[in-house]
Amino acid sequence: MPIPPETTLTDIDWDLLWQNARKQKSWSSKGAADWDKKADSFASRNAGSLYTSLFLERLPLALDRTVLDMGSGPGTLAIPLAGLVRSVTAVDYSAGMLDVLNRQAKEKNILNIRTIQGAWEDDWQQLDIGMHDMVIASRSLAVDNLSLALQKMNDHARQYVFIADRIAPTPFDPSAFAAIGREFQSGPDYIYTINMLYTMGIHPCVDILQLDRDNTFTDIEEALRSYAWMFKDLTALENDALRSYLNSKIIHSEKKQITIRRDYPPQWALIWWKKDSPLEK
């Protein structure tokens, strides 16, 4: 469709484009009950990950700062953050994730994490989330209303906001979709978020967090479980096709581990801004 004459950037409705892209995506967002079931395995898989260190090393941390971790999961960032700041408020809509977080905090004798069960769509005032020096959202922006989520983060931050958003096709593997005969549509990624912030008068900085293409598993069954989350309702034939695909991607094999190489390295956009900067309206 040709662009109408005299069209400029201000004529683009990024919220509408984002909603349209969400309708076309090949994957479905998981609900709280789904994450409850995955809480323990998710926590163990992400503990001490390269992603965590890349994210944390870019934060302007100080022992007198408070942090709101929205969509905290099992404490992937909240647990290590607790020793680097005054306090952390961890919010997640999955009770199972927060149970794992609280258990880990108790085991490590961490006393400065407050957990709240809540969602992006909830009334944050009723949840008593309050203001924080820094608000972070790490890989947790699969929301129904992105512009509202961004506004809430900005409104609850005194100094900084940090968001880790997808760079398509991350975290998915399009080759795996092709291998089982399914079409892949990524859905909206970070470029929508940046442009939506622009329309809000916020001009963020962007860093790229690139992870390894190679993943190590104990065996092909663990690799299969790790990949299966990408798909809804895998059939037996699709499961067999996925197994064959993963076997074809093994680049190294030992008695107790295999290494699988993805065609695309996972990449995340770290989008951040400082409140009351000269560039912010």
Q: pLDDT 10s digit of each residue in the chain, 281 long?
A: 566 776 777 778 888 888 888 888 876 655 555 544 554 444 455 556 899 999 999 999 999 999 999 999 999 999 999 999 999 999 999 999 999 999 999 999 999 999 999 999 999 999 999 999 999 999 999 888 999 999 999 999 999 999 999 999 999 999 999 999 999 998 899 999 999 999 999 999 999 999 999 989 999 999 998 898 889 889 999 999 999 999 999 999 988 899 999 998 999 999 999 997 544 43
The residue ranges of DSSP E strands in the chain, in sequence order, are 66-70, 87-92, 113-117, 132-138, 157-166, 205-210, 214-217, 250-253, 258-261, 267-274
Q: What confidence score (pLDDT) does residue 40 get?
A: 44
Paired strand residues for 210:
267
Look at residues 83, 39, 79 and name the one whose alpha carbon lies nearest to residue 61: 83
CATH 3.10.450.350 assigned to domain 9-212+264-274? The reply is no
Q: Return d(Cα 188, Cα 206) in angstroms, integer.
A: 17
Under a CB-based contact definition with an 8 Å cutoff, are residues 163 and 137 in contact? Answer: yes
Under a CB-based contact definition with an 8 Å cutoff, are residues 269 and 166 in contact? Answer: yes
Domain boundaries defined on the chain: 9-212+264-274, 214-261
Q: What confidence score (pLDDT) does residue 13 get?
A: 87
pTM over 0.75: yes
Under a CB-based contact definition with an 8 Å cutoff, are residues 132 and 105 in contact? Answer: no
Look at residues 172, 201, 217, 194 and name the one whose alpha carbon lies nearest to residue 270: 194
Under a CB-based contact definition with an 8 Å cutoff, are residues 270 and 55 in contact? Answer: yes
Q: What confidence score (pLDDT) does residue 74 get?
A: 93
Q: What confidence score (pLDDT) does residue 15 get?
A: 87
Terminal Cα distance for the chain, rounded: 34
Q: Return d(Cα 228, Cα 250) in angstroms, integer.
A: 17
Q: DSSP letters along 171-186, please? A: T--HHHHHHTT-----
Q: What confidence score (pLDDT) does residue 109 get?
A: 97
Strand arrangement, sheet containing 205-210? 113-117, 87-92, 66-70, 132-138, 157-166, 267-274, 205-210
Q: What confidence score (pLDDT) does residue 23 get?
A: 85
Q: Return d(Cα 81, Cα 75) in angstroms, integer.
A: 9
Phi, psi of 251 (to 5 degrees): -105, -10
